[in-house]
Amino acid sequence: MARTHALPDGPLVAWYGDDHTGAAAVMEVLTFAGLPSVLFLDMPTREQLQRFDQTRGIGIAGSARSRSPAWMDEELPPVLAFLAGLNAPLFHYKICSTLDSAPSVGSIGRAAELCFEATGADWAALFPAAPAIGRYQAFGNLFAAAGKCVHRLDRHPVMANHPITPMNEADVCRHLAKQTAIPLGLVPVDAMQSSADADKRLSRERSAGARIIAIDTVDDRTLSKAGRLMWHAKGKPAFAIGSQGVEYALVQHWRDEGLLPKGELTHRAARVDRMVAAAGSVSSTTDAQITWAEANGFSGVRIDPRGALETGKARENWVQAAINAALAATGDPIVYSARGPDDQAIAVFRSACDAAGLAGEEANARLGAGLGDILAGLVERTGCRRAAIAGGDTSSHAARRLGIFALTAMAATVPGAALCKAHRDHAEAGPLEVALKGGQMGTPDYFGQIRDGGAVNQGSTT
């Protein structure tokens, strides 16, 4: 295959992220590889889009991971059509690297069907693997790191016991076959050892009728070859369903082809003397991060999450009381609703939700919005211009309450949890830098990294 000597002009990738923190991970990979990208939190207006007319990647953050197929049928088509209309060479439906999904919630299968309708693509690469974040796929089975160990997905200590979408199947095609009737195929790891073998296997799978084809990847060598398969896909536009591993693969291929410079890039921001944070995550990872923060200049401020279920004046009073408690803290405040998965506050909150007849999705939305209102109040009252939000669901709702319509990456921490510049439409809104992180993401010193302007040792983006 003949090499090209330059990447095409305009957006290279258009993507929809099925949750906010995952969508942001795509933006980071591209930006930190030298390809400035933007993530919109909703479908942008023409004026908003024009502000970013020089970007190389354009994405929209959504909430499909926690939604039903019926919701997808109603909400996704116009968003997917907008992204397809950008005419980027590659269209990416961004999913979690651990395939969080089920037939009734976050269905990747139904989303894939809608993406095919929007793009007219001939086939899609299924690519959850991302070695940079400890995600590997071999002979169609997905493996994920947990601490210093790597587990097959159905034996992963977290994902095998996920409360909503427990993973009891590591075979990615078998998992997806429960969600769609679209024919599935695989380019296995042994075929990925040479470009010729990978091409032959891909051609064979497509000739057999497969339209969604999983691509194995376990290291940088196979990562680059996967990027090549996706970038040079026959039948335009190219279409991928996967984690930010899709962008890692593209970047690795572009570097190997001389289309991007090799080597590590450093992205840091200035340290600030004051920041604020909110945590709706109940993961043990976030608990450890709050514990570290409390020993290093931050103050944890516990709130009763049941207040987020209130309405009217009662809710206003709850928000104001939380703001006042945070303002009285001696260190940078981290407002949180629970500390780890065993916190009694979780059971109390769920009981209150049951009593109010609220489903989990609505309850999480209210808690996220409440934390966002508290954070917005703190930013306004203190003049603080840097904030962090922990928790995937929390991040999406809280970011909207802060008036944010788009994010651009500024400083790297861990993959998928960068410090970003927040773009807001309100004329009176001052500059704001924000970090959104999923509950399981980051090292214990994460909040310190955000305060300091990024991780000291960021590592490579490949």
Residue 1: what pLDDT? 42
Q: What is the CA radius of gyration of the chain?
A: 21
Higher-confidence position of 137 and 395:
137
Please give the average per-residue pLDDT across 440-456, as a whole number.
89
H/E stretch holding 337 reads none
Cα-based distances in Å from 235 to 120, 206, 211, 253? 9, 11, 12, 19
Residue 389: what pLDDT? 92
Q: How confident is the model at residue 461 (pLDDT cuts 50, 70, 90)?
A: very low
List, for residues 154-193, the tens digit of each pLDDT value.
998 878 777 778 889 999 999 999 999 999 999 999 999 9
Residue 346: what pLDDT? 93
84: Cβ contacts below 8 Å, ≥ 6 apart: 14, 91, 118, 119, 120, 237
Please give the average per-residue pLDDT across 310-339, as a whole number.
96
Residue 457: what pLDDT? 54
DSSP E strands in 243-398: the ranges are 276-279, 298-302, 332-336, 386-390
Q: How confident is the model at residue 106 (pLDDT cuts 50, 70, 90)?
A: very high
Using the predicted structure, report yes or no on whether residue 462 has a pLDDT greater than 60: no
Q: How confident is the model at residue 235 (pLDDT cuts 50, 70, 90)?
A: low
Residue 333 preceded by cis peptide, ω within 30: no
% of the chain residues with pLDDT over 90: 76
What is the value of pTM for the model shown? 0.90
Residue 325: what pLDDT? 97
Choose the weakest-confidence range: 2-6, 110-114, 320-324, 406-410: 2-6
Higher-confidence position of 8 and 21:
8
Q: How confident is the model at residue 459 (pLDDT cuts 50, 70, 90)?
A: very low
Using the predicted structure, report yes or no on whether residue 266 has a pLDDT greater than 80: no
Higher-confidence position of 418 and 427:
418
Cα-based distances in Å from 380 to 276, 297, 377, 400? 11, 21, 5, 15
Strands 57-61 and 141-146, how do they pair?
unpaired
Q: Give CA–CA dist 430/233, Å, rounded.
A: 44
Q: Give CA–CA dist 267/418, Å, rounded.
A: 10
Residue 159: what pLDDT? 84
CB 166 within 8 A of CB 159: yes
Please give the average per-residue pLDDT across 241-253, as a whole number.
97
Please give the average per-residue pLDDT across 376-396, as a whole number.
88
In one-letter notation, the amino acid at residue 430 is G
Q: Give CA–CA dist 324/346, Å, rounded.
A: 23
Q: What domains, with CATH codes, occur in the chain?
A: 13-256 (3.40.50.10840), 276-452 (3.40.980.20)
Please give the average per-residue pLDDT across 402-430, as a whole number.
85
Higher-confidence position of 237 and 153:
153
Please give the average per-residue pLDDT across 455-460, as a whole number.
54
Residue 363: what pLDDT? 86
Residue 95: phi and psi, rounded to 5, are: -115, 170
Residue 361: what pLDDT? 75
Query: What's the start-to-end Cα distance of the chain, in Å?
Result: 23
Residue 460: what pLDDT? 34
151: Cβ contacts below 8 Å, ≥ 6 apart: 143, 144, 145, 157
Q: Give CA–CA dist 300/332, Å, rounded.
A: 8
Residue 165: what pLDDT? 83
Q: Give CA–CA dist 217/189, Å, rounded.
A: 6
List, for residues 28-87, the tens digit of each pLDDT value.
999 999 999 999 999 999 999 999 999 999 999 998 988 899 999 999 999 999 999 999
Tokens (6 digits) for 315: 């809710």
When the pLDDT of each residue in the chain is averaged and rounded to a whole number, the result is 91
Using the predicted structure, report yes or no on whether residue 397 has a pLDDT greater than 90: no
Please give the average per-residue pLDDT across 281-301, as a whole number.
94
Residue 451: phi and psi, rounded to 5, are: -60, -40
